Amino acid sequence: MSDTKMISAEELAACIDHTLLKAQATRADLEKLCAEAVQYGFASIAINPAQVAFCLKQLEGSGVRLSACVGFPLGQNIKDLKFLEAMNAIEEGANEIDYVINLTELKAKNLRYIEDEMNSIVLLCRVNHVLSKVIFENCYLSDEEKGELCRIALAVRPDFIKTSTGFGTGGATLEDVRLMKDIVGDKIKIKAAGGIRDLKTALAMLDCGAERLGSSVGVAIIEELKGPVS
């Protein structure tokens, strides 16, 4: 998005994945998440896979999409388990999958492993008409490693590459979004997530090339854009 100066609350909400990934989230918390997503028109809710069926019922008929986060937050499940976790989430009704790469294999320069895993999950999503998002966890990566992941993604073509889980030592940065955008251009969309907690940061991420934002405080961001009620 090149110019956010005139963005409306509705347009901004449509860029946000309204997120609740805490282990202690209650059913009441999830119901609130879904109700807010419907009320504000967020792009999706982002949740752990075990809650897909429950949240799908809350979103029924709303048009809000449902993102299931796979291999979350460490990315250390074996490839077959990530694939099965993604497949189960899709069967339960998820129409977007965010999955975390295996950082250990990346650090070992086992790029074939990274590509094979990405290809299997992205292909699963593609044949089921589900959006795929690949989470890099940039706070643990060198710029060289980020570039390697971007180039693998260009070969595999997920729908999105994503900066962070929000559970690492750092979240999205403008520098990382620019780096990713410089490499993938318009061929793959970018999701910025982690630490996006105010309007200024959200708009800056979009101006740098992100097209989707992950945030647990999407309501506050939209209310900040709307401004005080007169």
Read off the tokens for 106.
């990346």
Q: Is 71 left (phi over 0), alpha (psi -120 to 50) or beta?
A: left
Interval 169-173 mean pLDDT: 97
Least Cα distance to 117 among 142, 146, 86 occurs for 86
Taking only the tens place, the pLDDT of each residue in 81-129 is 999 999 999 999 999 999 999 999 999 999 999 999 999 999 999 999 9
Q: What share of the chain has pLDDT > 70, as a percent?
A: 97
Q: What is the per-residue pLDDT for 2?
A: 46
- Across 99-103, 138-142, 172-176, 224-228, least confident range: 224-228
Q: What share of the chain has pLDDT > 90, as a percent?
A: 96
- Dihedral, CA atoms, 149, 129, 185, 71, nearest 10 degrees? -30
Confidence of residue 228 (pLDDT cuts 50, 70, 90): confident
CATH of the domain at 156: 3.20.20.70
Would you say residue 6 has pLDDT above 60? yes
Taking only the tens place, the pLDDT of each residue in 64-80 is 999 999 999 999 999 99
Least Cα distance to 180 among 202, 212, 221, 225 occurs for 212
Angle at alpha carbon of residue 41, lines to 187 and 126, rounded to 5°: 35
Residue 16 lies in a domain: yes
Catalytic residue selected from 82, 133, 146, 162: 162
Taking only the tens place, the pLDDT of each residue in 137-159 is 999 999 999 999 999 999 999 99
Confidence of residue 229 (pLDDT cuts 50, 70, 90): low
Residue 3 lies in a domain: no
DSSP 8-state code for residue 113: H
Would you say residue 165 has pLDDT above 90? yes
Question: Range of 215's domain?
Answer: 9-226
Q: Report long-range pairs for 178-182 (Cβ below 8 Å, ≥24 apart).
A: 178/208, 178/209, 179/143, 179/146, 179/147, 179/150, 180/146, 180/150, 180/209, 181/208, 181/209
Q: What is the per-residue pLDDT for 146?
A: 98
Residue 67 lies in a domain: yes
Counting the structural domains of the chain, the total is 1
Confidence of residue 230 (pLDDT cuts 50, 70, 90): low
Residue 158 lies in a domain: yes
The DSSP bridge partners found for residue 67 are: 46, 96
Interval 163-178 mean pLDDT: 98
Residue 4 lies in a domain: no
The DSSP bridge partners found for residue 39 are: none
Residue 1 lies in a domain: no
More confident of the two residues 3 and 47: 47
Run of H or E residues at 205: helix 199-207
Q: How far is CA 211 from CA 46, 72, 74, 168, in A?
A: 16, 22, 24, 22
Catalytic residue selected from 17, 98, 159, 176: 98
Residue 129 lies in a domain: yes
Catalytic residue selected from 82, 133, 146, 191: 191
Catalytic residue flag (residue 98): yes
Q: What is the per-residue pLDDT for 1?
A: 46
Cα–Cα distance measured from residue 41 to residue 166, given in angstroms and rounded to the nearest whole number: 22
Catalytic residue flag (residue 191): yes
Residue 106 lies in a domain: yes
